[in-house]
Structure 1
């Protein structure tokens, strides 16, 4: 797999989601959602679900969990997806790794 496969899968799943999503809730999730709705008093339950998705996504990015799963399934990271190029391609484009140079003065004071 790779970056092209990830992009194609995201586009396909985005289209499949549409504008509305029906989710079956178990009793624990229903209880937690009711608690959050009581505490935050949002305009609607939909707002809490949107916040939950944003929070899960942000946490997954910050902890590296998203990168772990993307690397496992697609051999790319979220940063590579955002750049639309793998780090190997980026490094080759930038001329890295640099060829060995004779830097005898590196450790002189």
Structure 2
């Protein structure tokens, strides 16, 4: 897969998130959410879920796990996704034709 595939998949997910997200919680998660809600007193429980997603995302980026997963699945990194260009495109390495090994040293 490629950067274009990743971008398309992110856009598809973004369009369907509002329709699909309804989280069922196990007992442990429900107890933890209840404690966090009591301690932090957010306006609503959704605010805690948003914070949890932000924290999980940041932790995944900082630990390098996101880059690992993106490289495994799409052969790009998070920085490449953000810039919209692969490293080869940024450095111009993909502008040169491939070398023909049989004719490399012929004049």
CA RMSD of aligned residues (A): 1.7
TM-score under structure 1 length normalisation: 0.81
The ranges of structure 1 where at least 4 consecutive aligned residues each deviate by more than 4 angstroms after the TM superposition are none
TM-score under structure 2 length normalisation: 0.82
State the Cα distance separating 1:38 from its structure 2 match: 1.1
Aligned to 1:90: 90
SS in 1 for 2:24: coil
The CA distance in 2 between the partners of 1:91 and 1:4, in whole Å, is: 18
The CA distance in 2 between the partners of 1:85 and 1:74, in whole Å, is: 13
Higher helix share: 2
CA deviations over 1:8-52 (Å, ceiling 9, x no partner): 000001111127731111111111111111111100100000000
